[in-house]
A and B are shown apart, each in its own frame.
Chain A
Amino acid sequence: MVLLLLFLAGPIAYCAYIAFTDLQLTGQAHASFVGFDNFREAFQDEEFLNAVWLTLVFTVISSLIGQNTLGLALASLMQRASKPVRTLTGGIVITAWVLPEVVAGFLLYAFFRKEGTLNAILDALHLPSQNWLFTLPILAVSFANVWRGTAFSMLVYSAALNEIPKEITEAAEVDGAGGWRRMWHITLPMIRRSIGTNLMLNTLQTLSVFGLIWVMTRGGPGDKSQTLPLFMYEQAFQNSMIGYGTAVALLLLLVGSLFSVVYMRLLRTEV
């Protein structure tokens, strides 16, 4: 307990303290306590509000919709697939997941860039190509996050689906329930807890994605893919404003806990 306090709570408390100072990495002789100034500044800062918006877009598209739905779809398809197909798909998806974030970033940069693989494919199909990282940066990085993170959801859902007793599904089938009805009335309610856990873990992980976006777009062009972690990095380490950057980090923590609370609420009402 004491160790936990010393090594975990200590740094967190220190961070929380710094967020209320104007500490800079360089260019300043002494830091002073400034109260809520950093937070006030953040909410007046257009770039910050832009980053909050992009973070929400990125999280909803890539985690809530992308990773979650795709993971569930893959998991249910794999339930029925033959063993070799299952091994192969599982292998590919999990490879994407175990790749270090930066490596995955470079791969997807190569995929999306102007002379990249995606445009080569589009060209071959005689479809118009474009520089995806320039025209649709937030979608491109969201797709990258889906590509990378779906394996996790797939594993969680595979485990959950295996837990559903065969008899229930078979009984429903005998009663004449089709695939969709079974999914909606039996499968989903039975794996509700897993959905909640998965959503929460996915969201928290997605909120903190940095390397992937940094490698692919550096938050650009302009600020068009600058999510909160990138904004925080720019403020703290490029502009040397550690105090302000830390305040933004605390706000990010707040966004994360908001999402968590919402998920827990959703879960509880359905129990």
Chain B
Amino acid sequence: MPVRPTAAVLLVSTLTAAATLTACSGSSGSDPDTLKVSFKQSTDNSIKVMDEFLAGIKTQFEKENPGKKVEFIPVKAPDSEYYTKVQQMLRSPKTAPDLVYEDTFLINSDITSGYLKPLDDYLAKWPDWAQFIDTAKTAAKAEDGKTYGVPDGTDTRGLWFDKGIFAKAGLPTDWQPKTWDEVLDAARTIKRKVPDVTPLNVYTGKPAGEAATMQGFEMLLYGTNDGTTDPLYDTTSKKWIAGSQGFKDALDFVETVYQEKLGPDVSTALDPNIQTIVRGDLLPKGKLAIDLDGSWLPQDWLPGSGHEWPEWSRKLGLAYMPTQHGQAPGKVSMSGGWTWAIPAKAANPDLAFKFIETMQTKANAQKWYIANSGIAVRKDVASDPAYASAQPGIKFFTDLVASTHYRPAYPAYPKVSTAIQEAMEGVTTGDMSTDEAASSYDDALKSATDNQVIQK
């Protein structure tokens, strides 16, 4: 088809426009005095914790560094969409910010993609780094041994229980189970003596997503064997572990909970909104006796959250999740959290690290942990009485940091996690026996990891 003159003119002008646009964004991306910071903004308009914290840091930073300006690029999205958006931004130097907020869940994936810059040179010269606890330091460490992010807090997990229901069932209100069996026994007692409540919630299945894997399954799995080695991923051979007895034992636990009807009704457990149901309905209304869940629950019950429940600290007790047979170290917890990282294509990496240093002074870090109901990863903050008494429960969850585990968050992890959820769902609905579910997990694991699997 011959190109008509008008079309040719249009084409030229379009191309020119495109070129101009590109040139514009290119130049603003390399402005040496402007620091671009991208972060995850809450999808809930009433929650401004991060916005307010960062605004304060910006004022401080601009005052301490005359002539420099901070520009925020907030991304307002739920977790999974935030990852996608950030990954797209990181692909090109035109859109890459100077500083980015990264979930430890995916940081290794982004490192493999070459999206992030190693921070070891900066960290070596930064005295505050010594204050960070060792497990948290490894959270953003890649397979190459380099560190790619500075964690701004963490979270831990344990058993929340309703003291009122426990009293009715004749169980101690300072309950602390020593083994899995003691957890199940307590649930059975509650089922017998207080029949109108749900005895024990363990998140399960694909609808609950990562909550099923991390709050549910891994809290069990990491308490099997000797309780110190990683039961999912073998670091020496760099392979994923298949066919382990621990895996089957953890599935057995889930099966017991749902087949003995100790957990929520299966259809409720597999409701995509199960987390909201637990936090907003079951727990505050006294309809759930024991909940295996994360340290962040009180966030939902704070004043201004829409469902205030200030009495929670009197009504709920906290117990750590025991290892399978009570073997050392006796308790188990999983941790995740977010880190600040510098994109490989950032225009101003030095300035970006300075901003991290400002955010992570002891005073600022402490302010952030408290505002965010986060758990401290700095030793000096963790031992500060002002922090420990800022909120009920904070000391309990901070003490768990010593015996916590981070996920093997390598690139295949999201797929491995889905495979775990499917195995859990199989035993929850009763469609599969634990052996069937475990072997279908082994198959899924092989395809998810390109056969990087070891039998253990």
Contact = CB atoms under 8 A, between A and B. Distances in A.
Given A25-B84, A240-B109, A220 B414 contact: no
B268 interface: yes
B3 A2 contact: yes
A2 B11 contact: yes
B272 A240 contact: no
Contacts of B337: none
B328 to A, nearest CB: 35
Interface stretch (A26-34, A71-79, A84-92, A93-101): A26-34
B407 to A, nearest CB: 15
Interface centre among B88, B108, B415, B422 (most CB of A within 10 A): B415
Contact of A26 (B3, B14, B113): B113
A133 B269 CA distance: 12
Nearest to A226: B206
Contact of B112 (A28, A135, A222, A239): A28
A6 B87 contact: no
A113 B273 CA distance: 11
B7 A2 contact: yes
A221 B270 contact: yes
A259 interface: no
A26 B272 contact: no
Nearest to A233: B80
B112 A26 contact: yes
Contacts of A39: none
B271 interface: yes
B268 A221 contact: no
A114 interface: yes
B111 to A, nearest CB: 9
Interface centre among A26, A113, A237, A238 (most CB of B within 10 A): A26
B126 to A, nearest CB: 27
Interface in A7-60: 24-29
Interface string A214-226: 0001111110000
Contacts of B109: 26-27, 240
Nearest to A113: B271
A237 B267 contact: no
B12 to A, nearest CB: 10
B207 A240 contact: no
Interface residues on B, range: 35 or more
Contacts of A217: 207, 272
Interface centre among A28, A133, A222 (most CB of B within 10 A): A222
A237 B84 contact: yes
A219 B271 CA distance: 11
Contact of B106 (A26, A28, A218, A219): A26
A26 B10 contact: no
A236 to B, nearest CB: 9
B113 A29 contact: yes
Given A3-B14, A28-B411, A218 B272 contact: yes
B429 A221 contact: yes
A221 B431 CA distance: 12
Given A6-B14, A26-B113, A220 B411 contact: no
B265 interface: yes
B267 A134 contact: yes
A150 B206 CA distance: 31
Contacts of A26: 83, 87, 106, 109-110, 112-113, 115, 411
B114 interface: yes
B207 A27 contact: no
A125 interface: no
Contacts of B411: 26-28, 240
Contact of A222 (B81, B206, B415): B206
A13 B331 CA distance: 55
A237 B80 contact: yes
Interface in B83-125: 83-84, 87-88, 106, 108-110, 112-115
Interface in B264-315: 265-268, 270-272
B249 to A, nearest CB: 23
A131 interface: yes
Contacts of A29: 112-114
A28 B414 contact: no
A219 B205 CA distance: 12
Given A26-B112, A26-B411, A220 B267 contact: no
B366 interface: no
A1 interface: yes
Interface centre among B110, B205, B271 (most CB of A within 10 A): B271
Interface string A184-223: 0000000000000000000000000000000001111110
Contacts of A27: 108-110, 112-113, 411-412
B438 to A, nearest CB: 17
Contacts of A113: 271
Contact of B268 (A6, A114, A219, A220): A114
27 contacts: A2-B3, A2-B7, A3-B10, A25-B84, A25-B88, A26-B113, A26-B411, A27-B108, A27-B113, A28-B411, A29-B113, A29-B114, A114-B267, A114-B271, A217-B272, A218-B206, A218-B272, A220-B206, A221-B429, A222-B205, A222-B429, A237-B80, A237-B84, A239-B414, A239-B415, A239-B418, A240-B87
Closest 10 CB pairs of A and B: A27-B411, A134-B267, A131-B267, A27-B109, A26-B109, A218-B272, A221-B270, A220-B207, A2-B7, A2-B11
Interface of B: 1, 3, 7, 10-11, 14, 80-81, 83-84, 87-88, 106, 108-110, 112-115, 205-207, 265-268, 270-272, 411-412, 414-415, 418, 422, 425, 429, 431
Given A28-B112, A221-B206, 18 more contacts: A3-B10, A6-B11, A6-B14, A26-B112, A28-B113, A29-B114, A135-B267, A217-B272, A220-B205, A220-B270, A221-B425, A237-B81, A237-B84, A239-B418, A240-B87, A240-B109, A240-B411, A240-B414
